[in-house]
């Protein structure tokens, strides 16, 4: 990542912190995210705000965020002039939620140059602070978020009570307002059909298992998000320990099934699946985003388990991002119909992975 | 020190008293093993129930929980019907307005009703509303003091509890 580009518009190919592919347990844990829900005293919660109040809140928050010095160098992106395509790019980069992208309220997002921090303004809560750390790093991500939260508390009249903690629009976030998620790549559990068992186990201990883009999204490309559900009555350290314990077990479980998929008679079937996926990426002329993500997941697994060589994880990560509709159209600089998109996707993925045209 | 009147070998640790019309008419000193055999080994010291404590304190405990909310939130105008239908709050003040309805909801979602974790700094002024956390803490200490027959301490804690309930600094 070039420091020289600080302040520039983020280049499309830069993966952002969530897709760096570094950090502890990065073969399975892609990224850790801390999300804090915060609201201001003296304003109704965002969904109940009248338009004039909503504008006032947005302006108040952005003016305070611009007051130096914050622990992170944040640039505020006002979403009002941002079109649908650019908004979907921000969603695909996990900088804003799908809800904020669809919102008509005055809203914005404050982002740092590394895309490790994104503070959504006027989402369901007045502020949704997000901090990303590559790999499995709940503690580091929390410490970063805590520093930023301290700075925000000094600048903004955050709503709280001793009894209920941080006050949020939805009671599911009341208390710490903390949602700690780890994004996991679990092809082993999916291929060996143990994923339902694994997700049920996680749910039993009050952890939510969701798809790549949060609530209601499907687990495309064998990517899952595991996060705490309880925010009240458990402090931040306990939540970290809960998530770390459960994710640690899932990571261990994934490693064991990956091992089994590479042994004995299973090995040739696994190799077949990985090479077929690579064959599709190398030769297919039309690729839906779902098929592309499935193939990229298999290739990623192939590289991690040394079944494939000559490919970099970084290239696969880049391909993962570019195969999504927003990034694809941004890259080709034109709005495409779905069938045109599938054709361009196939072509682009061949280029990114360095396959023959 | 007294030997068990039943087995005559072990030290007596349990006293069984005969009560007739409220006065002690006889007693037996037995050891734990014999008390178990007699089926009185599991007698536990009487636990102070909140009702007993309330009696003791002369009914100073008032009904602190507001009745079911019927008014809209003064902060944002959210009505109880809106809250029940959406399950969402309209503004920070709703937490106080709909407290009675909110607590069982929080219990269902989080299996908890009380925040644990970080808060934005220390409150500068003493809280104007009774502080539930200190209240329950003082109540517990008062209960312990009464149980331990430390009446001077209990009286002091009782005064503290009264002040806390009125929202005064202690």
Does the CA dihedral B22-B24-B28-B29 come out positive or negative? Answer: positive
Question: Minimum mean pLDDT among A7-11, A264-268, B5-9, B20-24: which range?
Answer: A7-11
Closest by alpha carbon to A13, among A228, A313, A318, A284? Answer: A318
- Computed over every residue of chain B, the mean pLDDT equals 73
B110–A170: do the CB atoms touch at under 8 Å? Answer: no
Radius of gyration of chain A (CA): 21
Interface test with A, best of B96, B99, B100, B115 (most A CBs within 10 A): B115
- What average pLDDT does the segment A156-182 reach? 96
pLDDT at A220: 81
Question: Minimum mean pLDDT among A119-133, A154-168, A327-341, B50-64: which range?
Answer: B50-64
Domain layout of chain A by residue ranges: 17-259, 262-353
Task: Please give, rounded to a whole number of angstroms, the shortest distance from the CA of B79 to a CA of chain A.
Answer: 12
Question: Is A134 in CB contact (< 8 Å) with chain B?
Answer: no
Closest by alpha carbon to A261, among A250, A252, A270? Answer: A270
Distance CA A40, CA A61 (A): 9
- Chain B CB contacts of A158 under 8 Å are 120
Q: Note the Cα B121 to chain centre separation in Å.
A: 28
- Chain A CB contacts of B134 under 8 Å are none
Distance CA B77, CA A48 (A): 10
Enclosing H/E stretch for A259: helix A236-261
Distance CA A86, CA A92 (A): 10
Enclosing H/E stretch for B152: helix B151-165
Length of chain B: 170
pLDDT at A153: 92
pLDDT digits (tens, 9 = 90+) for A182-197: 999 999 999 999 999 9
pLDDT at A282: 94
Task: Please give, rounded to a whole number of angstroms, the shortest distance from the CA of B118 to a CA of chain A.
Answer: 7
- What average pLDDT does the segment A336-356 reach? 89
Joined tokens for residue A333: 């600089």
The pairing of beta strand A165-166 with beta strand A178-185: unpaired
Closest by alpha carbon to A101, among A75, A74, A64, A128? Answer: A128
Joined tokens for residue B48: 């102070």
> Which DSSP state fits A211?
B
Length of chain A: 357
Joined tokens for residue B75: 């902060």
- Report in angstroms the alpha-carbon separations of B38 from B1, B16, B30: 21, 10, 10
Question: Is A160 in CB contact (< 8 Å) with chain B?
Answer: yes
Closest by alpha carbon to A40, among A14, A27, A59, A15? Answer: A59
Q: What confidence tier does B68 reach under pLDDT thresholds 50, 70, 90?
A: low
Beta bridge partners of A38: A127
Extract the runs of DSSP E, i.e. beta strands, from chain B: 14-20, 23-30
- Chain B CB contacts of A175 under 8 Å are 110, 112, 115-117
Whether the Cβ atoms of residue A160 and residue A232 lie closer than 8 Å to each other: no
CA nearest to B74 within chain A:
A44
A232–B113: do the CB atoms touch at under 8 Å? Answer: yes
φ, ψ of residue B80 in degrees (nearest 5): -60, -35
- Chain B CB contacts of A230 under 8 Å are 109-112
> Which DSSP state fits A26?
T
pLDDT at A40: 96
Whether the Cβ atoms of residue A344 and residue A333 lie closer than 8 Å to each other: no
pLDDT digits (tens, 9 = 90+) for A82-93: 999 999 999 999
A44–B119: do the CB atoms touch at under 8 Å? Answer: no
Joined tokens for residue A178: 């903390």
Enclosing H/E stretch for B34: helix B32-37
Distance CA A264, CA A266 (A): 5
Closest by alpha carbon to A88, among A80, A76, A97? Answer: A97
Question: Is A163 in CB contact (< 8 Å) with chain B?
Answer: yes
φ, ψ of residue B19 in degrees (nearest 5): -115, 130
Q: What confidence tier does B158 reach under pLDDT thresholds 50, 70, 90?
A: confident
Question: Is B92 in CB contact (< 8 Å) with chain A?
Answer: yes
Question: Is A228 in CB contact (< 8 Å) with chain B?
Answer: no
Question: Minimum mean pLDDT among A52-56, A253-257, A340-344, B143-147: which range?
Answer: B143-147
Closest by alpha carbon to A126, among B31, B92, B40, B52? Answer: B92
pLDDT at B133: 66
B106–A153: do the CB atoms touch at under 8 Å? Answer: no
Interface test with B, best of A160, A168, A170 (most B CBs within 10 A): A160
**What is the reported pTM?**
0.74
Distance CA A81, CA A54 (A): 17
Distance CA B115, CA B117 (A): 7
Which residues of B, range 59-88, sit inside 8 Å of A by Cβ?
A: 75-76, 78, 87-88
pLDDT at B45: 46
Distance CA B37, CA B44 (A): 16
Q: What confidence tier does A302 reach under pLDDT thresholds 50, 70, 90?
A: very high
Q: Is the peptide bond before A69 cis (omega within 30 degrees of 0)?
A: yes
Cα diameter, chain B: 76
Give the position of tokens 């297919």: A284
Residue B38 CB contacts under 8 Å (≥ 6 apart), including other chains: B6, B16, B30
- Computed over every residue of chain A, the mean pLDDT equals 90
Enclosing H/E stretch for A170: none
Q: What confidence tier does B29 reach under pLDDT thresholds 50, 70, 90?
A: confident
What is the CATH T-level fold of the domain A17-259, as seen in this structure? Creatine Kinase; Chain A, domain 2 (3.30.590)
Enclosing H/E stretch for A75: strand A75-78
Residue among B88, B95, B111 whose CB faces A167 most closely: B95
For the CA atoms of B43, B46, B50, B51, what is the dihedral angle to 10 degrees?
A: 100
Distance CA B137, CA B168 (A): 16
Would you call A122 exposed, middle or buried from its count of C-beta atoms within 10 A (0-12, 13-18, 19+)? Answer: buried
pLDDT at B6: 74
A169–B88: do the CB atoms touch at under 8 Å? Answer: yes
CA end-to-end span of chain A, whole Å? Answer: 28
Higher per-residue pLDDT: A77 or A1: A77
Give the position of tokens 């309220």: A105
Inter-chain CB pairs, A–B, below 8 Å:
108
Higher per-residue pLDDT: B38 or B74: B74
Residue among B78, B106, B123 whose CB faces A174 most closely: B106
pLDDT at A52: 93
Q: Is the pLDDT of residue B24 over 70?
A: no
B120–A153: do the CB atoms touch at under 8 Å? Answer: yes
Question: Minimum mean pLDDT among A4-13, A20-29, B49-58, B76-85: which range?
Answer: A4-13
Question: Minimum mean pLDDT among A146-155, B50-59, B152-161: which range?
Answer: B50-59
**ipTM, 2 dp:** 0.86
- Chain B CB contacts of A146 under 8 Å are 118
- Chain A CB contacts of B115 under 8 Å are 161-166, 174-176, 232-233
């Amino acid at each position: 990542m070039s420091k020289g580009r600080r302040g520039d518009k983020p280049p499309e190919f830069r993966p952002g912190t969530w897709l760096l592919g570094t950090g502890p347990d990065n073969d399975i844990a892609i990224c850790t995210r801390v999300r804090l829900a915060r609201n201001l005293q003296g304003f109704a919660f965002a969904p109940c705000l009248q338009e004039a109040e909503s504008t006032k809140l947005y302006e108040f928050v952005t003016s305070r965020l611009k007051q130096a010095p914050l622990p992170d160098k944040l640039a505020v992106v006002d979403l009002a002039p941002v079109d649908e395509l650019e908004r979907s790019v921000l969603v695909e980069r996990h900088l804003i939620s799908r809800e904020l992208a669809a919102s008509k309220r005055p809203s914005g997002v404050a982002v740092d140059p590394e895309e490790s921090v994104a503070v959504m303004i006027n989402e369901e809560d007045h502020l949704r602070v997000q901090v990303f750390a590559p790999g499995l790093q709940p503690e580091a991500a929390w410490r970063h978020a805590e520093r930023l939260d301290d700075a925000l508390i000094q600048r903004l009249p955050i709503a709280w009570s001793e009894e209920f903690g941080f006050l949020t629009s939805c009671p599911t976030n009341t208390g710490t307002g903390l949602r700690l998620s780890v994004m996991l790549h679990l092809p082993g559990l999916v291929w060996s059909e143990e994923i339902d068992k694994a997700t049920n186990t996680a749910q039993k201990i009050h952890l939510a298992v969701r798809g790549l883009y949060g609530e209601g999204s499907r687990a495309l490309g064998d990517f899952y998000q595991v996060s705490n559900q309880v925010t009240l009555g458990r402090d931040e350290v306990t939540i970290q320990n809960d998530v770390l314990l459960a994710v640690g077990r899932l990571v261990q479980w994934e490693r064991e099934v990956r091992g089994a998929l590479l042994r004995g008679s299973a090995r040739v079937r696994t190799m077949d699946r990985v090479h077929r996926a690579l064959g599709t990426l190398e030769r297919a002329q039309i690729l839906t985003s779902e098929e592309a993500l499935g193939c990229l997941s298999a290739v990623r697994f192939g590289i991690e388990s040394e079944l494939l060589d000559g490919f970099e994880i970084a290239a696969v990560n880049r391909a993962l991002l570019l195969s999504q509709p927003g990034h694809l159209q941004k890259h080709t600089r034109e709005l495409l119909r779905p069938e045109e998109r599938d054709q361009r996707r196939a072509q682009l993925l061949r280029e990114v992975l360095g396959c023959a045209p | 020190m007294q030997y068990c009147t039943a087995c005559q070998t072990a030290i007596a640790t349990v006293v069984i008293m005969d009560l007739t019309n409220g006065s002690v008419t006889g007693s037996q000193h037995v050891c734990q093993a014999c008390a178990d055999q007699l089926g009185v080994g599991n007698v536990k010291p009487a636990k102070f129930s909140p009702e007993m404590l309330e009696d003791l304190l002369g009914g100073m405990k008032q009904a602190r929980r507001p009745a079911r909310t019927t008014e809209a939130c003064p902060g944002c105008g959210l009505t109880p019907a809106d809250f029940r239908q959406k399950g969402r709050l309209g503004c920070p003040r709703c937490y106080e307005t709909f407290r009675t309805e909110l607590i069982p909801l929080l219990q269902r979602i989080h299996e908890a009703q009380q925040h644990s974790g970080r808060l934005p700094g220390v409150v500068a002024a003493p809280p104007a509303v009774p502080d539930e956390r200190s209240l329950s803490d003082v109540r517990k200490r008062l209960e312990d003091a009464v149980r331990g027959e430390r009446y001077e301490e209990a009286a002091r804690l009782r005064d503290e509890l009264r002040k806390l309930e009125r929202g005064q600094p202690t």
